[in-house]
Every structure is written in structure tokens, then in C-alpha cells.
Structure 1
Amino acid sequence: MRIKEIIVVEGKDDTARIREAVDADTIETNGSAVDEPVLEQILHAQQKRGVIIFTDPDYPGERIRHIVSQYVPHCKHAFLPKHLARAKQDKGIGIEHASVEDIREALSSVYELTEDWKETITKDDLIAYGLIGGPMARKRREQLGIRLHIGKTNGKQLLRRLNMFQISSEQLDETMRQIIQEERNE
């Protein structure tokens, strides 16, 4: 599988793992202290080939995603759920620990943020599905993030991501029906 866009990752171990999974070029941020020369390199890459941000599913990874997407408009985003990025022996979390198959899956489900997005999903929708303000909210948000490939979020972030990634009300409804049905079957 060849990826046209350049993938932004945190470090050399991520690059090595991604290259095992797909044919792609990467730019490494070298951790969460993303400096301006790296941001300029990412901006140039975006103008030439496009960029996919694919950072670890943890706080530093989300921080890098935010910094890069603020500096470089129109990036695409790939997400890997935390449970698929855990190291087997230690407590490490990162893209470098994911399986080749999981990396391919994440990179085949890329989203592009749009600046002219309209809010089609509301806070009331999240409340109705028990995604905020209920005893199962956190678990349901995690399941929804995994299934829609939008990452782990809190309630406020979830509403923003659903709308920015243009998830339709129908997609949300169908996915939540599946999640709720599986909860009933447990």
C-alpha cells in the first residue's frame, strides 16, 4: 500500500514501524517539543504532497497533533486506539507498538478537517446517546472513537471532532445502535 501524503510521526521508531506496514515517507517531530523548522518542513510537505498526522494516542501525541494542525492547515488525521498501541512487556504506548495490520487500518480511515464545517450533530444528540453526562459515557465515547477512527475524546472534543470530520447523523446513529446493542448483550 503506497501513501501519497507524508505522514507526521513522533520519532524514528514510529517511522520504522510505519514503513513495515506501508510504503510512505515520514517527518518526525522528535517528541512534543515541535520546533519551528520542523513545522516549516511539515508546511512545505503539505503544500507539495499533503500531510497525514499520525501521532501516539496519549496526551503528548494529542498535543503534537494540535500544534501541527494549528500551524499547518488542511492536514489529514489518522487515529489508532490506545489499546492497539500498547507495548506487550511494558507500559509504553505508541505507534511503534501497533501491529502492521492495525497501522494499515488506521491509515485507510483518514479524515480531513474542514474549515467550513457545519454543526450537524449537537450536544443534545450526545446526551441522547449517553455519550456525555451518564454512567456509560466514557466507555461509549471510547467505543465510538474506535469505530469511527476519530480517537479518544472527552465530551467537548467529541462534539467538535464529529462535526469537523463531517460524521453524519446517520453514521452516528448506526454506530451508537451497534454499541448499545452490544452493551445489552454483555
Structure 2
Amino acid sequence: MRIKEVIVVEGKDDTSKIKQAVDADTIETNGSAVNEDIINQIRHAQEKRGVIIFTDPDYPGERIRHIVSQAVPGCKHAFLTKQEAKAKRDKGIGIEHASVSVIQEALSKVYEVTGEYESAITKEDLLACGLIGGPKARERRKKLGVALRIGYANAKQLEKRLSSFQIAREDFVEVMEQILKEEES
């Protein structure tokens, strides 16, 4: 599978794993110390070919995702769950630990953030589905993020992420019905 866009990753091990999974070029941020030179490279890539941000599903990865997407508007996003990115033997989490097939799936389902989309999913919907407040809210948000491949979001970020990734109301309802049905069993 050939990826036209340049994929932003954290380091060399991520690049190596990406190249096992797909034919693509990468830019490495070298961890969370994203400097102006890296941002300029990413801007140039965005102008010429487009960019997919594909960072680890942990705090440093989300921080890098935030820094890059703020500095370079219009980037696409691909996500792995913590389970998909978990190392077998040690406690590490990262793209370099994911299987080739999981990486291919994540890169086939990228999201583009848009500021112009008005979501049909409201805060009231999130409350009604038990995604905000309550004892099971955090776990439900995790399951929702996995099923929709948008990553985990806290209660405050969830509404914005659903909107900015243009998640259809029908998809949201279908996934939430499944999550709630699983809880009943």
C-alpha cells in the first residue's frame, strides 16, 4: 500500500515499522522536543503532499500531535489504541510495537480535522450515553475511541474530537448501542 502523504512519527523505530507496513515517507520528531526546523519540514510536506500525524497513544504522543496540528493546520490523523501499540515483553507503548496489519488498518482510516463541520452529536448526546460523568464514562470513552479509531479523549475533548473528525451521528449511535449492549451481557 502506497501512502501519498508524509507520515509524522516520533522516532527511527516508528519509521522502520511504518516502512514494513506501507510504502511511505516519514518525518521524525525525535520525541516530544519538536523544534522549529521539524515544524518547517512538516509545513513544507503539508504544502506539497499532505501530512498524516501518527504518534504513540500515550501522553508524549498526544502532546506531539497537539503541537504539530496547532502549528500546521490541515494535517490528517491516524490512531492506534494502547492495546494495539503495547510491547509483548516490556512495558513500552509505541507504533514500533504494533503489528504490520494494525498499522495498515490505522493508516487506511485517517481523519482530517476541519473547523467548518458542525457535529450532529451534542453534549446532551454524550451525557445521555453516559460518556460524561458517572462510574463507567471513562471506560465507555475508551471503547468509543477504539471503535471509531479516533483515540481516547477525556470528557472535555470528546465533543470537539467527534466534531473535528466529522464522525457521523449514525456511526456514533451504532457504536454506542454496541457498547451499551456489551455492558448488559
TM-score range, shorter chain: over 0.9
Spell out the pairing of 1:64-143 with structure 2 (5 A cutoff). 64-143=64-143
TM-score by length of 1: 0.98
Matches of 1:154 and 1:166 in 2, distance apart? Answer: 18
Instruction: Identify the residue that residue 41 of structure 1 maps to in structure 2.
Output: 41
Residues 55 and 95 in structure 2, CA contact (< 8 A), matched pair in contact too: yes
Residues 119 and 167 in structure 2, CA contact (< 8 A), matched pair in contact too: no
Q: Report the alpha carbon displacement of residue 166 of structure 1 after superposing the two structures with TM.
A: 0.9
Matches of 1:146 and 1:12 in 2, distance apart? Answer: 26
1:47-102: CA deviation from partner (whole Å, max 9, x where unpaired)? 00000000000000000000000110100000000111011111111000000011
Instruction: Identify the residue that residue 155 of structure 1 maps to in structure 2.
Output: 155
Matches of 2:122 and 2:142 in 1, distance apart? Answer: 18
Structure 2 unaligned regions, length at least 5? none
Matches of 2:30 and 2:159 in 1, distance apart? Answer: 30
Q: Report the alpha carbon displacement of residue 117 of structure 1 after superposing the two structures with TM.
A: 2.1
TM-score by length of 2: 0.98
Asked if 1:29 is matched to 2:15, the reply is no
Matches of 1:140 and 1:108 in 2, distance apart? Answer: 24
Matches of 1:183 and 1:20 in 2, distance apart? Answer: 37
1:146-170: CA deviation from partner (whole Å, max 9, x where unpaired)? 0101001101111110011111211
Amino acid at match of 2:91: K
Instruction: Identify the residue that residue 169 of structure 2 maps to in structure 1.
Output: 169
Matches of 1:160 and 1:171 in 2, distance apart? Answer: 16
Instruction: Identify the residue that residue 146 of structure 2 maps to in structure 1.
Output: 146
Q: Report the alpha carbon displacement of residue 181 of structure 1 after superposing the two structures with TM.
A: 1.0
Amino acid at match of 1:15: T
The percent of aligned pairs where both chains have the same amino acid is 69
Matches of 1:179 and 1:93 in 2, distance apart? Answer: 25
Instruction: Identify the residue that residue 14 of structure 1 maps to in structure 2.
Output: 14
Asked if 1:53 is matched to 2:48, the reply is no
Matches of 2:25 and 2:5 in 1, distance apart? Answer: 8
Amino acid at match of 2:170: E
Residues 52 and 76 in structure 2, CA contact (< 8 A), matched pair in contact too: yes
Q: Report the alpha carbon displacement of residue 119 of structure 1 after superposing the two structures with TM.
A: 3.5
Q: Report the alpha carbon displacement of residue 120 of structure 1 after superposing the two structures with TM.
A: 2.2
2:83 match: secondary structure: helix
Amino acid at match of 2:99: S
1:17-38: CA deviation from partner (whole Å, max 9, x where unpaired)? 0100111000000000100000
